[in-house]
């Protein structure tokens, strides 16, 4: 941490403080509520960027399916912390459904075993037979069970529900979900004769989101799950708590504003703890023999291989770790929002924007990723109002009409343009990012 980096972080902190305190030049919101909102998502973005940086920065693995891991992590709070829908936990409902899933897994496992055991035409035929037969068996068991589950109170439930456990438990579970998916993808894509990770992650990302949108029994699909339990108190409870009202009064604030700020601060506290722990762990890991080996592989794979390093295995390891971090962040987002809305998982927002953060911050540098996460998230949020203001300025001299209203309506799309521009400028003039790898 040299002076320049401290200044960069100071600058981002200043931006957030300004957002909370001033409305100067119309650039900032002047509300602690929005400032803390940006801070919280900035913290999560930083964690996401850390995850992608592990893969790209330290192993050169090109993951363009981040959105899938985030979504998968987001599933965890629903499955862990919502109340179980006991009415569908019957033999014909949940029981049969779980049996179907086990059958599906068994079929795939059998196909993999056959792939390893047999050779030539027999292999192709056997695998095809197992997959096709297995598919129909799976559907035969699965479809009626889904009907049972999804027909139960479609307006409010139609899913299995969760385990009713504390929501914080969902965070590591989300990481585990993502890690599991990463293991499967990595095993397949990194095991092929040449490396096809990019297209594999792109595909799996889309598939995970398709599953989450369509499998209502899992998490209600596009009908969304709302009111996911929180790890922090509710605003209304705080506003009723006399102790809190007194505390708010001592700051000279009304209880409503104070409660929203307090809740956001509590979240921020939780997120900061996680972020610091992750940075500590990854810095520690990177300076360990394991981290040195990772860099040796990255910088000269042939030499590392010649020294007997199992490159594919190391790549798989770091791919799983990075994806787990993304899954953790996904669970945190859903917890922060208290809802799961699969329709919002857009690859531009959850894959490519994270890449912008990593590249702008500095590939291979954990602190760079954190900085990139905060800075790009701040821009992502603020460019939209700035765009509106700018368009207002540009069109102020124009006559009322179709062009003027079109320009004003289109201002919202400035944020994509800006992100692209920022990425290109940094890549061109500071290709190592704002905080380069040592």
Partner 1 sequence: MSSSRNPYKDDRGNKDRSITKSGGGELEYPTKGGKARPAPGGPFLAAENMTGGYGAADILHDCTLTVEKGQIAVIVGPNGAGKSTAMKAVFGMLNLRGGHVKLDGEDITALTPQDRVAKGMGFVPQVNNVFPSMSVEENLEMGAFIRKDDFRATMEQVYDLFPILKDKRRQPAGELSGGQRQQVAVGRALMTKPKLLMLDEPTAGVSPIVMDELFDRIIEVARTGISILMVEQNARQALEIADRGYVLVQGANKYTDTGEALLADPEVRRTFLGG
Partner 2 sequence: MDFLNAIVALLNFVVIPATSYGAQLALGALGVTLIYGILRFSNFAHGDTMAFGTAMVILVTWAFQSVGIHFGPLPTALLALPFGIAITAALVLATDKAVYRFYRRQKAAPVILVIVSMGVMFIMNGVTRFIIGVGEIRFDDGGRFIVNANEFKKATGLAEGLAFRSTQGLTILTAIIVVAALFWFLNKTRTGKSMRAYSDNEDLALLSGINPERVVAVTWIIAAGLAVIAGTLYGLDKSFKAFNYFQLLLPIFASAIVGGLGSPLGAIAGGFLIAFTEVGFTYAWKKVATYVLPDALAPDGLAQLLSTDYKFAVSFAILVIVLLFKPTGLFKGKAV
- 348 touches, from partner 1, partner 2, none (C-beta below 5 to 8 Å by class): partner 2
* Residue 364 binds partner 1 (CB under 8 A): yes
Q: Please, which residues bridge with residue 84 across strands? A: 161
Check binding of 197 to partner 1 (CB under 8 A).
Answer: yes
Q: Which does 410 bind (CB under 5 to 8 A by kind): partner 2, partner 1, none?
A: partner 2
Q: How far is the CB of 115 from partner 2 (least distance, A)?
A: 8
Number of CB atoms found within 10 A of residue 189's CB:
22
The answer to whether residue 258 forms part of the interface with partner 1 (CB under 8 A) is no
Q: How many CB atoms lie within 10 A of CB 339?
A: 16
Q: Per CB under 8 A, does 431 bind partner 1?
A: yes
Residue 438's binding partner, choosing from partner 1, partner 2, none, with beta-carbon cut-off 5 to 8 A by kind?
A: partner 1
Radius of gyration of the chain (CA): 24
Kindly tell me which residue out of 8, 39, 43, 59 binds partner 1, with binding defined by CB under 8 A: 59
CB of 206 to partner 2, least distance (A): 4
Burial class (CB in 10 A: 0-12, 13-18, 19+), 105: exposed
Q: Which is nearer to partner 2, 147 or 254 (CB)?
A: 147
Of the candidate residues 9, 62, 183, 244, the single one contacting partner 1 (CB under 8 A): 62
Closer by beta carbon to partner 1, 110 or else 296: 296
Residues 370, 375, 378, 384, CA torsion sign: negative
46 Cβ neighbours under 8 A, 6+ residues apart? 275, 357, 369, 370, 372, 373, 374
In the chain, the N- to C-terminal Cα span, in Å, equals 11
Taking residue 43's Cβ as centre, other Cβ atoms within 10 Å add up to 25
Query: Which range binds partner 1 by CB under 8 A, 115-123, 271-279, 294-302, 343-351?
Result: 294-302
Q: How far apart are CA 164 and CA 251, in angstroms?
A: 37
Q: Which does 135 bind (CB under 5 to 8 A by kind): partner 2, partner 1, none?
A: partner 2
Residue 391 makes contact with partner 1 by CB under 8 A: no
By CB under 8 A, is residue 207 in contact with partner 1? no
Residue 223 interacts with partner 1 (CB under 8 A): yes or no: no
CA–CA distance, 433 with 371 (Å, rounded to integer): 10
In the complex, least distance from residue 68 CB atom to partner 1, rounded to whole angstroms = 16
**Are 87 and 152 in contact, with CB atoms under 8 Å apart?**
yes
CA 52/CA 216 separation, integer angstroms:
30
Q: According to CB under 8 A, which one of 30, 291, 385, 436 is a site residue for partner 1?
A: 436
Nearer to partner 2, 33 or 214 (CB): 214
Using CB under 8 A as the binding criterion, the count of chain residues that bind partner 1 stands at 26
Q: Should residue 420 be labelled a site residue for partner 1 when binding is judged by CB under 8 A?
A: no
Separation CA 47–CA 45 (nearest Å) = 5
What is the spatial distance between Cα 395 and Cα 393, in angstroms, rounded to a whole number?
6
Q: Please tell me whether residue 60 adopts helix, strand or coil conformation.
A: coil
Nearer to partner 2, 202 or 336 (CB): 202
**Residues constituting the chain:** 438
Is residue 200 part of the contact set for partner 1 (CB under 8 A)? Answer: yes
Question: Where on the chain is the footprint of partner 1 (CB under 8 A)?
Answer: 56-57, 59-62, 194-200, 295, 297-301, 363-364, 431-432, 436-438
């Amino acid at each position: 941490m040299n002076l320049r980096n401290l200044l960069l972080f100071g600058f981002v902190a200043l931006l957030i403080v300004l957002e909370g305190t001033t409305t100067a030049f119309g650039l900032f919101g002047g509300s602690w509520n929005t400032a803390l909102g940006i801070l919280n998502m900035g913290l999560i973005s930083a964690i996401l960027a850390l995850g992608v940086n592990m893969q790209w920065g330290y192993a050169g693995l090109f993951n363009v399916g981040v959105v899938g891991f985030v979504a998968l992590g987001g599933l965890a709070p629903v499955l862990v912390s919502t109340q179980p829908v006991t009415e569908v936990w019957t033999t014909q409902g949940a029981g049969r459904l779980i049996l179907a899933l086990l059958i599906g897994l068994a079929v795939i496992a059998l196909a993999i075993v056959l792939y390893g055991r047999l050779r030539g035409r027999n292999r192709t035929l056997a695998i095809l037979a197992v997959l096709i037969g297995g598919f129909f068996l799976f559907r035969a068991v699965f479809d009626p069970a889904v009907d049972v589950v999804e027909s139960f109170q479609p307006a409010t439930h139609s899913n299995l529900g969760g385990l009713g456990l504390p929501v914080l438990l969902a965070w590591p579970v989300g990481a585990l979900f993502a890690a599991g998916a990463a293991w499967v993808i990595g095993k397949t894509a990194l095991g092929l004769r040449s490396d096809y990770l990019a297209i594999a992650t792109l595909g799996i990302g889309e598939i995970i989101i398709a599953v989450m949108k369509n499998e209502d029994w899992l998490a209600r699909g596009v009908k969304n799950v709302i009111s996911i339990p929180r790890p922090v108190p509710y605003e209304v409870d705080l506003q009723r708590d006399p102790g809190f009202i007194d505390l708010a009064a001592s700051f000279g604030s009304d209880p409503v504003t104070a409660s929203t700020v307090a809740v956001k601060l509590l979240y921020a506290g939780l997120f900061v703890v996680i972020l610091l722990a992750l940075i500590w762990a990854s810095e520690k890991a990177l300076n360990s023999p394991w981290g040195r080996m990772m860099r040796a592989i990255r910088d000269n794979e042939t030499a590392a291989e010649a020294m007997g390093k199992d490159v594919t295995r190391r790549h798989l390891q770091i791919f799983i770790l990075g994806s787990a971090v993304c899954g953790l962040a996904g669970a945190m987002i859903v917890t922060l929002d208290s809802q799961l809305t699969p329709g919002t998982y857009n690859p531009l927002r959850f894959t490519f924007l994270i890449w912008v953060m990593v590249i702008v911050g500095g590939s291979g540098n954990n602190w760079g990723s954190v900085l990139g996460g905060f800075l790009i998230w701040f821009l992502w949020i603020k460019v939209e109002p700035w765009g509106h203001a700018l368009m207002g300025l540009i069109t102020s001299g124009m006559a009322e009409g179709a062009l003027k209203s079109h320009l004003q309506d289109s201002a919202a799309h400035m944020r994509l343009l800006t992100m692209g521009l920022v990425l290109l400028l940094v890549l061109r003039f500071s290709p190592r990012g704002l905080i380069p790898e040592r």
